[in-house]
Amino acid sequence: MCGICGKINFNNEPIDEIILKKMTSSLSHRGPDDEGIYIKNNIGLGHRRLSIIDLSPFAHQPMSNEDETIWIVFNGEIYNFLELRKDLIGRGHLFRSRSDTETILHLYEDYGTECLRYLRGMFAFAIWDEKVQSLFLARDRIGKKPLYYLHSSDTFCFASEIKSILQDKTFEKIPDFTAIHHYLTYQDVPSPWTAFKNIKKLPPSHYLIYKNGKVTIKRYWKISYLPKHTMPVNELKKEILERLKEAVRIRLISDVPLGAFLSGGIDSSAVVAMMSEVMNKPVKTFSIGFKEDTYNELKYAQVIAKKFRTEHTEFIIEPKALDIIDKLIWHYNEPFADSSAIPTYYVSKLAREHVTVILNGDGGDENFAGYGRYVANQISIWMHKILPSSIAKLILPVISLMPHGKTPNNFFWRLKRFLGEYIKSPEMRNAHWLCHFTSDMKKELYTDDFFRQVSSTDSFDLIFNKYREAEANSFLDKTLYADVMMYLPDDLLVKVDIASMANSLEARSPFLDHEFMEFVARIPSDLKLNGSITKYILKETLKGILPDELLYREKMGFGVPIDHWFRNELRDMAYDIILSEKAISRGYFKKETIKRILDEHMSNKWNWHNHIWNLLMLELWHRMFIDI
């Protein structure tokens, strides 16, 4: 894995080598093994390398073709590069290295932008074509590798991380209010926005062409949930297993040590099971736990480690883990409120002490319908047949009076949230269960001035648009598509990429193999969510491979006990920072609303931990990136 960056100056102004080197060096955590730059007149490319395949100097980047008219910087892994390489050699291409980077370069020579349809893997790359004076940027289908860009009146910049673009001190750092508005809803800044005005994300499955001062962005891939497979269930199960094995096998190509994250859930356990079958030595596995039993899955990880005889390593996270909070703010570049970034960072740090490449179970929930909100929505649809919304409205005030415990897993807390969304449309219910601040909450939270600036944009329109564009018939498949297009690339994959790359660790995701995803998408939706059983067809496939106690236990998720921490160790921190004069003076939020949120959480009147974390991350981001 690597870090890439580049810059084109307009009006033929030469590239400042010092700035380009600063842009490149700011990505050193993504690539500690090597550094390279290429400059020719008004074009500059930079690369930081984490050596995974072909550790020799021949794989150095930026890399050119034979006559040095085409240059590439590449971040990622192409898992089918050996078969592509064989075909290219047959077509007369000469190779100087064993790297997958050179394969992309020669594919581009033959196919131009169409080279993307041949690539199987995770990638973000830039190709400068001297002959036609164009820059070609591309990002993988699912969005595993990030790519940001800035197009101003005098320059075009791109990089793997925003902090690289910020090395040019002529850029004015201004918060994007619309991006912040969306962040408060989604806990991340959704593509194509960033938290910085004028810096954008290249969306997943898109490519960008810069030529003659103009930028053109096109989509090259879209997952379809139609037509549905008609093969018998037993054949489906065999096909799922074989395709998953293959997705794991091709991700074991590496010239450095590799291992696996093991949460104790179905997806990571399935990956470890497949690795154990394919590898000729024990799998190195890594797990994170908490002292709070409600959040601790270590006992399940230990069951899998024992069953497959892995070399297992564990780490317990305590509230003092938040000593790294400033480090996380710096690495994530934008406000990012998924608190599971904390254990993801620590498990990455733990793994990097032993391996350089890690496999994980990301994508299993989005492929096979693993989240509890899918079940909740299905139950709500069933219940509407016997319980009209008018009756539910009468029940809710009574239920609201019942104590709901101090954790988000409490039955009455879940019941309150369920009934609170019961009268809404299925799409809105899913959006509310997924998100942090709803539209009504924002009206209470925002100052009049901030509300006027952003109220013309409804953040929920972003996810509703995904429902409308989905190539699917069932509500469940449309929801899965929305998650694949938004929650997965904007939250989960950002979380893993940044946390792993902060520790110079490459993360690979077999469940996110695009060929595997295309096959699974066409499985009938009632085989994914069967009644109230999530991941039904995957669980049936893994029977006899994984223990039943793991397959059929309630999903826990990679949660963090911030609800408890905010009522105890982090109480003062929360009040001091998000109620500070500095925070309130930004003009976003009403002080009395923030205080009410804090007070209600501390008194256990309501569980506001996610919203408090969201506000805290936003304020700390301002202090680190905007105020300085």
Catalytic residues: 2
Contact assessment for residue 217 and residue 139, using Cβ atoms and an 8 Å cutoff? no
Q: Is 314 exposed, middle or buried (0-12, 13-18, 19+ CB in 10 A)?
A: middle
Q: How far is CA 541 from its chain centroid?
A: 26
Question: What are the contacts of 479-484 at 24+ separation with CB within 8 A?
Answer: 479/374, 479/377, 479/430, 480/225, 480/366, 480/367, 480/369, 480/521, 480/525, 480/528, 481/223, 481/225, 482/430, 483/365, 483/366, 483/371, 484/142, 484/223, 484/366, 484/517
Could you give phi then psi for residue 273, rounded to 5 degrees?
A: -60, -45
Supply the DSSP string of 462-474, one letter for each residue.
HHHHHHHH-S-SS
**Element at 127 (helix H, strand E):** strand 121-129
**Element at 182 (helix H, strand E):** helix 177-186
- Strands lying side by side in the sheet with 258-261: 311-317, 284-290, 258-261, 357-359, 506-508
CA distances, 208 to each of 134, 356, 488, 554 (Å): 10, 31, 21, 43
* Residue 86: partners with Cβ closer than 8 Å, 6 or more residues away: none
CA distances, 488 to each of 220, 325, 448 (Å): 18, 23, 33
Supply the DSSP string of 407-469, one letter for each residue.
STT-HHHHHHHHHHHTTS-HHHHHHHHH-SS-HHHHHHHB-HHHHHHHTTS-THHHHHHHHHH
Separation between Cα atoms, residue 514 and residue 509, nearest integer Å = 10
338: region left, alpha or beta (phi > 0 left; psi from -120 to 50 alpha): beta
